[in-house]
Structure 1
Amino acid sequence: MSAIGVTPAQNLAKRPSRRPAIDVARGLALLAMAAYHGSWDATYFGLAGFDLLGDPLWLAARTAILSSFLLLAGIGLVLASRDGIDAGRFLRRLGRVAAGAAAVSAASYALFPDSPIFFGVLHHIVVASVIGLAFARLPAIVTLAVAAAAVLVGTTQGFPLFDSPWLRWIGLTSVAPDSNDYVPLLPWIGGVLAGIGLGRLWPRLGEGVAVTGRAARLLAFGGRHSLAVYLLHQPLLFGIAWAAAQLMPVETPAVREFQASCVASCEGAGVARATCAANCGCVQSELARNGLWEGFVANRLDERDRRGLQAAVAACSKP
């Protein structure tokens, strides 16, 4: 397939060289994301009590990590297209990311059928990369203005029309859908467009910066293979957290508080203490296994989640 903007021969001669500093930045973003996902896994299995959905610091951390990924995706698009887009290379990369997004969705539907990932960060990057091509040659000020508008509209507007399962990927929903990773087009495309704008504004960004030291080289390696690292790190961390939950007793402050309150209430109903302790431990384990523990601790269970809580209590109370 011929290239867009230059001939195949020119593409071979002008294929953009990597900038290790950008790879290091991408590696740092991956490291931060792994730390966040590790915290989510620990909370999911009841090994920790992080309030990832309510604590402003955790919310800010998620925003910063995700924004850095999308910003770097935009910068990378500019670097890849500065001598013209090689359509074949672009489509192959897009296909790999799309395949990764499909794999993430399939796994999430199997593990978390009540909160699957239908439009997460990889899905977003696929769509935003295609849209971003229209901005890769525009003046930086135009792209940055559109980025700001996307963030403003996406964070301030919401309409019931966009609550439809077919339109939720756009954003602008009046009620946030249940998903373990929801990165709609608006406002998050603002991050990709901001990266494109910055890449156009500073075309030599990261150029000539030497990467030395084992840690920096390791980060750069991760950044060069970011898709593989992204797809592999969460199953690995999830498995480690699951194994830890099976091997050690879960005794976080939140678990201890729940156990004490639950046992006291149960004993007040005339049930033996040993039976109460076993039933309450069973309920906590069921909540963690079904992804309800974090919402329960934060007192943010919706109607469907409360039905799940009732089902756990009923299952654990059977003789």
Structure 2
Amino acid sequence: MEDRNRRRGRYFALDELRGLVFISMVLYHGMWDLVYMFGHEIAWYEGTAGYVWQQSICWCFILLSGFCWAFGRNKYRHAGLVFGAGFLVTLVTCLFLPEDRVVFGVLTFLGTAAFLTTLLQPLLSRCRPAPGLIASIVLFVFTRNVNVGFLGFEEWRLLKLPEGLYDNFVTAFLGFPPGDFYSTDYFSLIPWLFLFLSGYFLYRCVMCSQKEEPLHFLKRGRAPALRWIGQRSLLLYLLHQPALYVLLHLWAWYFDK
């Protein structure tokens, strides 16, 4: 099986990296459930350390997804599958956990980003990789704070945006949520599309190398368990939160007896 996958060009190291980030995400979500659903106070998690942890997960996932976009065979089908999974998460949380609902979550974003990248590929392919990468990074940095009403990055707020932009559900999807918008997992097109495109252009920069096969070192896997997780990350993503919820309830029941 491994030899056949290698002949098909499977990059095992990328699967393993995705698996590693997935495990980090599961641990983070487990902590989130403990703090916000079960009422445990964990100071470091609610502070800067927890925020950096959360950002490292989403940055890696989105950047890696953009980098791996080129590997897909049926790109529109993949985009639709991921978007549909995101819609399922939204539907289930709105029906059964409205206080912890997910609207425009990471799967919805990744499906949309993959669709737009596929749609715009004829235009994007005309952009030189290095300038495209630089432009994507700059745009991500400058638009990182649009969700909270500013251009800028984190504590650096360059320009306050007009309040009229933050109007409704559609503007929330784009990156301009109104005051009454709420979601426990929110990834709008702006700024995150620019991070996805950073991964897309990073891949193209690497492939512009003069080497015959610049990504050959990524074909050798070293952690089969991580690879297994990474290759099934979408299904496992849909299952991990219900599994955590059940396990934590069993844990609470056992220790509260």
- Structure 1 residue 222: deviation in Å? 1.1
CA distance in 1, matches of 2:44, 2:70: 33
1 CA distance for matches of 2:180 and 2:48? 18
The AA in structure 2 aligned to 1:21 is A
Match of 2:95, SS state, is helix
- Residue 85 of structure 2 is aligned to residue 100 of structure 1: yes
Equivalent position to 2:235, from 228, 235, 257: 228
**1:218 & 1:96 partners in 2: Cα distance?**
24
1:117 CA drift (Å):
1.1
Contact conserved, 2:105 with 2:187, CA < 8 A, in 1? yes
Deviations 1:196-226 (A, max 9, x none): 11101112564234213xxx10111111111
- Once the two structures are TM-superposed, the CA of residue 116 in structure 1 deviates from its matched residue by 1.8
Larger gyration radius, structure 1 or structure 2: 1
One of 13, 23, 28 as aligned partner of 2:15: 23
Q: 1:148 corresponds to which residue?
A: 138
Give the Cα separation in 1 of the matches to 2:57 and 2:97. Answer: 23
Q: Quick one: distance in 1 between partners of 2:144 and 2:179?
A: 13
Match of residue 221 from structure 2: 211
How do residues 185-196 of structure 1 correspond to structure 2 at under 5 angstroms?
185-196=189-200
Separation in 1 of the partners of 2:81 and 2:188?
20
Post-superposition shift, 1:44? Answer: 3.0
Cα distance in 2 for residues equivalent to 1:98 and 1:176: 24
Pairing 1:128–2:113 present: yes
1:50-65 correspondence to structure 2 within 5 Å: 50=42, 54-65=46-57
- How far off its partner does 1:249 sit? 3.0
Partner of 1:183: 187
Give SS of 1:183's match. Answer: coil
1:200 and 2:198 matched: no
Q: Residue in 1 aligned with 2:157?
A: none
* Cα distance between partner residues in 2 of 1:241 and 1:34: 13
CA shift, 1:191, in A, is 1.9
Q: Distance in 2 between matches of 1:34 and 1:205?
A: 32
Aligned to 1:68: 60
Q: Is 1:114–1:178's contact at 8 Å kept on the other side of the alignment?
A: no
Matched, 1:48 2:40: yes
> Which amino acid is the alignment partner of residue 224 of structure 2?
R
Name the aligned partner's letter for residue 126 of structure 1. G
* Cα distance change of structure 1 residues 105 and 139 upon mapping to structure 2, 3 Å threshold: same
Q: Using the alignment, how far apart are the partners of 2:59 and 2:243 within structure 1?
A: 24
Does 1:241 find its partner at 2:245? no
Contact 2:79–2:111 under 8 Å retained in 1 = yes
Number of the residue aligned with 1:109: 94
Distance 1:188 1:208 in 2: 28
Q: Give the distance between the partners of 2:30 and 2:215, measured in 1 at CA.
A: 30
| Root mean square deviation, CA, Å | 2.5
Whether the 8 Å CA contact 1:143–1:196 is kept in 2: the answer is no
Match of 1:295 in 2: none
Q: Does the 8 A contact of 2:62 with 2:110 survive in 1?
A: yes
Q: CA 1:31–1:245 in structure 2 vs 1: closer, same or farther (change >3 Å)?
A: same
Partner of 1:164: 168
